Amino acid sequence: MATPSAPPTTLLILGAGGDLTHRLLLPGVATLLMAERERRLRIVGSDRVAVTPAQWKARISESFATVHAPQVVTRAASRDTAYVQADILDPIALQSLVNSCGDGPLVIFFALPPAVTMKCCELLRSIELPEVTRLALEKPFGTDLASARQFNQLLTRVVPEEQIYRIDHFLGVNTVLNLIGLRFANRLLQPVWNSEEIEKVEILYDETLALEGRAGYYDRAGALRDMIQSHLLQVLALIAMESIATLQPQEVQDQKAQVMRAIRLWKGDPVAASRRARYTKGTSQGRPVPDYIKEPGVDPKNMTETLAEITVEVVNNRWAGVPFVLRSGKALGASRKMVVITFRDVAHLPDGFAGPSGADTLVIGLKPGTVTLTLTMNAEGDPLDLEQKALEATLAPPRMQAYGEVLGQILDGSRLLTVRGDSAEECWRIVEPVLAAWDAGEVPMETYAAGSRGPRRWDTSRDGA
């Protein structure tokens, strides 16, 4: 963190008038400043629309209020803030905007559509930037492997890779450190974290929320691109990576990248390894939900899935033969945001015991943070009747919102919670065969009623997974 004598870091938000800034970014900044009162940060917003200084400060105040920021924090953030109306695709206006941020460390946050971000980065190549300039970018990082490579090449012509921060707020520090701590700080788990002891790994992100007015983005993305291609593959890398020597960002990023390179679709078959579905009319959490294709802004021709599942394998000595099932969907009957580790059965059960109905599992909750270990034991009643008992721990709530954690790392120059360029490309490499199979109509679009568990056929596990 910057010392009091150093100039404050400027957070320049491009696209400051958008929903992302108001709903997620500024509240995240507020929680960061609430947790770290000594942090010095200047917020500069910019967009094409005219906003008066009073209106901009009111917008900051409104966003900070959503996380109950005290007035002392809001006043400090508003004291030296500024809003600059600018067309960032005009090179003269862009240079003037950057100049207005001073010579201190600068973080440029692109709260913009990817196409606009790329055009702006093209201009930044010829703009004079402060010595310490970091680029913070929201997903998606390209739309396919080729565009991701093109995007990465463009970014590294603006600043070195070490100054590029591809944001995945799913990697908020609690998630990362909880997974790493479980993996490498527990002697009981370390020896069994392999294909000899683990039968299956499931990474699930089922939401009860439906489209909620996000058709403009979601109908072009769908569940596979929105969640699995980015967030869930990043979680998989943390679950499956090899031992790390330190928590240094370079070390963690290297091990994650190694896992990404080893991921293949289950049995190499994108048709057998994937499923997709879309919700129809129903009721979720007591609220009526329309058929997805009748949601405002949805184009039925897009064939957008609202529930996606793929099964992959990490082809290395530790994990070969273990299916990793990644699933995410909307408008489902229950929220399931977790990693489920299913252990193999014991090689031999002594005669006389009546066995339990299920396998031993370790469930790691992503939101909220919990850890549940379900073990087979003869705990109650007849001592010869085995049953499963759950040992559960609730983890401490995060000290700030995920965006606050990620921004704090970026402001401090740490890349622990970001996505490195090679990993971003690998994520597209993994899912591209599935997308191609879907585009060719080789995988049927199934349906499920909003508020249900998903398509009925999905309740029967796929062979081998």
| Whole-number CA gyration radius for the chain | 24
Cβ count within 10 A of residue 298:
18
Burial of 185 (0-12, 13-18, 19+ CB in 10 A): exposed
Nearest to 305 by CA among 431, 202, 425: 431
Sort 396 into a burial class: Cβ within 10 Å, 0-12 / 13-18 / 19+: exposed
With contact defined as beta carbons under 8 Å apart, do 180 and 247 qualify? yes
What is the rounded distance in angstroms from the CA atom of residue 61 to the CA atom of residue 50?
A: 18
231 is catalytic: yes
* Residue labelled with tokens 């080729």: 146
Q: Residue 85: left if φ>0, alpha if ψ -120 to 50, beta else—which one?
A: beta
**In angstroms, rounded to a whole number, what is the distance separating the alpha carbons of residues 287 and 298?**
20
As to burial, measured by CB atoms within 10 angstroms (0-12 exposed, 13-18 middle, 19+ buried), residue 197 is middle
Q: Are 163 and 134 in contact (CB under 8 A)?
A: yes
404 residue type, one letter: G
Which residue in the list 22, 68, 231, 348 is annotated as catalytic?
231
Q: Please name every residue paired with 348 in a beta bridge, in sequence order, or none if there are none.
A: none
Cα-Cα end-to-end distance for the chain: 46
Catalytic residues: 231
